[in-house]
Structure 1
Amino acid sequence: MKLLVGFVWLLSWLPFRVLSALGWLIGHLVASVPTSRRHIGDVNLRLCLPELTPAQRRRLLRRHFVAMVQMLLEYGYCWFASRERMERLMRIEGLEHLRAVDGRNAILLTAHFTGLDLAGVRVSLEAPAVGLYSVQKDPWLDKFFLAKRMRFGTAVMFARHLGMRPALRALKEGRRFFYLPDQDFGHRDSIFLPFFGVPAATITGLSRMATAADAVVLPCYPRREADGYTLVIEPPLQDFPTADLVADATRMNAVIEAMVRRQTHQYFWLHKRFKSRPPGEADFYAR
């Protein structure tokens, strides 16, 4: 594992366009292999984008594999790039929206896009931030990941299995919460609401956190471009949260879907977003 980290460190010295080209080549090769992940991507795109032809979905999935490989090759930027280089690699569009809520608690609502780790580090360079992370099985790797995510001293991270209370405390202390609620976390604490028209297990944590911390919610997403990324921060959601958890979670899914449609190939289509099903529904991913 340490050898792999050393290899990533070497890649971090390469220009962005060089890594992009390398990712394009490897991504096309990986996309041609009939793996379980490709099957998951096929299913997700068929469910979410039925208006596309099979050929269009295949091309989109191939573009997605390229974007995923490019993201993996770029992890060295997250771990080793200087602050100045990070600011060049991840520009911010709409920073004025974040500045406008100075003095208020704020949640940055985002989703699992390629570039999300770079975006998280970049947010922490503008304001104290808090985020959640999944613990790695390898203790050394887990410690390394955590240290690199907090290496600028401007962010704190809490393990997802600890629940939301540590992050809520940090949010109430004025840290910007970089929040990704768009994956399938199982039936517990979830309700089935539309995501691209498909019932999806959806958590209501965004509304609960915003209410508990009296926080505004700003949608944001990283957009990959030819020479780097742009983190797009949108204006705060109006009239949110409400007293209706279902309505709030439905709106959250719609906001995330709108962000995905702006850059469809950069969303994490290889995750089993629809693994949990309402009672009586068959497994979408079974072969």
Structure 2
Amino acid sequence: MLTLFRWLSRWPLWLLHAVGACLGWLTYLLSPSYRHRFDLNAAQAGIPRSRVRPAIAEAGRLLTELPYLWLRPTTRALAGSVTWDGVELIHAAHAQGRGILFLTPHMGCFEVSAQLYAEAYAARHGPITVMYRPARKPWLRELVATSRNRPGLATAPATLAGVRQLLRALRRGEAVGLLPDQVPPDEMGVWAPFFGRPAYTMTLAARLAREDGVAALLAWCERLPRGRGYVIHLSPFAEAPPPGVAQAESAAAINRAMERLIRERPQQYLWGYDRYKTPRRATPSGDDHKD
């Protein structure tokens, strides 16, 4: 599999995206369970079908661009194919010596943001540390570990040790990246509304956003058509809850921020992601909506 990924990493981005669009539609048409979850999640959000339909192809592009992003030579920089929208927020945080917390939904190309930050700022301001959940399959776990081992980019597991690693990075004035709409492990989340339905939501994002000296930014990477590259959109996390707010209320504020980003560009959200699943040892929400 690693050999296949290395071969695909040499393909031009426009060709990878063309293949990915076909793969996205094939998966949608041939997998009833995936199609059902995709349609159900989009309907739950109340977004018109015409605005969600392009996300079918975008989900395939998300997969086929991974060889390019993970295994391209380190000398092949992203800077030529990615632009920033709101980069002054990063400069302001650095000027104040603050750590930066990037909060990114499963939207667009969420792999690019951390890599571009590492290329542009790690040499001067330290690496960016990104939390991840190790893949279950050994071959995929090895591939991900190998591909994400890039200069200026550190990873932290979704464990208590990983949480401590993120806190230390922020307190050093470094950057940290999270996917706050990712279903957290057992006992690391609470139930909070997401598009009107209870979703098990991490408490970590709000906790980190409340840390002293942290600039919390919403970030998502737009995938441009025909392989023309990407645009990283940044905005302040204005919904950051103050200290003393209950965990469920803080998690709801995180979800509202993610909803706002998703509503702006639902064409690039990963609607097939199983956002409403219940972790094995988590107490069920009591929601009687069955998938």
TM over 0.5: yes
Question: Could you say which residue in structure 2 is the equivalent of 1:218?
Answer: 217
Percent identity between matched residues is: 26
Question: Could you say which residue in structure 2 is the equivalent of 1:134?
Answer: 133
What TM-score, normalized by structure 1, do the two folds share? 0.85
Question: Could you say which residue in structure 2 is the equivalent of 1:228?
Answer: 229
CA contact (8 A) 2:198 2:285 kept: no
CA contact (8 A) 1:275 1:284 kept: no
Provide, for residues 179-218 of structure 1, a one-character-per-residue CA deviation record: whole Å limited to 9, x for no partner. Answer: 1111233663433322212222222212222334531211
Question: Could you say which residue in structure 2 is the equivalent of 1:113?
Answer: 107
Change (3 A) 1:93 1:85: same
Count the aligned residue pairs.
Answer: 275
Provide, for residues 133-159 of structure 1, a one-character-per-residue CA deviation record: whole Å limited to 9, x for no partner. Answer: 12123445424322321322x021112
Question: Could you say which residue in structure 1 is the equivalent of 2:253?
Answer: 251
Change (3 A) 1:283 1:83: farther
1:238: Cα distance to partner? 7.0
CA contact (8 A) 2:89 2:234 kept: yes
1:64 and 2:49 correspond:
no
Q: Give 1:170-181 correspondences, 5 Å limit.
A: 170-181=169-180
Question: Could you say which residue in structure 2 is the equivalent of 1:157?
Answer: 155
CA contact (8 A) 1:221 1:232 kept: yes
Q: Give 1:190-201 correspondences, 5 Å limit.
A: 190-201=189-200
Equivalent residue of 1:252, what SS?
helix
1:104: Cα distance to partner? 0.6
User: Aligned partners of 1:237, 1:280: CA distance in 2, in Å?
Assistant: 30
CA contact (8 A) 1:219 1:236 kept: yes
* Match 2:117 to one of 123, 131, 134: 123
1:72: Cα distance to partner? 1.1
Give, as a single letter, the amino acid of the residue that structure 2 aligns with 1:270: G
What TM-score, normalized by structure 2, do the two folds share? 0.84
Question: Could you say which residue in structure 1 is the equivalent of 2:39?
Answer: 42
Change (3 A) 1:172 1:11: same
Change (3 A) 1:78 1:279: closer
CA contact (8 A) 1:111 1:182 kept: yes
1:269 and 2:271 correspond:
yes
CA contact (8 A) 2:98 2:173 kept: yes
Equivalent residue of 1:13, what SS?
coil
CA contact (8 A) 2:52 2:267 kept: yes
* Match 2:66 to one of 64, 75, 92: 75
1:77: Cα distance to partner? 1.7
User: Aligned partners of 1:146, 1:239: CA distance in 2, in Å?
Assistant: 32
User: Aligned partners of 2:120, 2:242: CA distance in 1, in Å?
Assistant: 25
Give, as a single letter, the amino acid of the residue that structure 1 aligns with 2:69: C
Segments of 5+ residues of structure 1 without an aligned counterpart are: none
| Cα RMSD after superposing both structures | 2.5
* Match 1:15 to one of 5, 12, 16: 12
1:17: Cα distance to partner? 1.8
Equivalent residue of 1:131, what SS?
strand
1:231: Cα distance to partner? 0.9
Structure 1, 126-135 or 159-168: larger mean CA deviation: 159-168
1:107: Cα distance to partner? 0.5
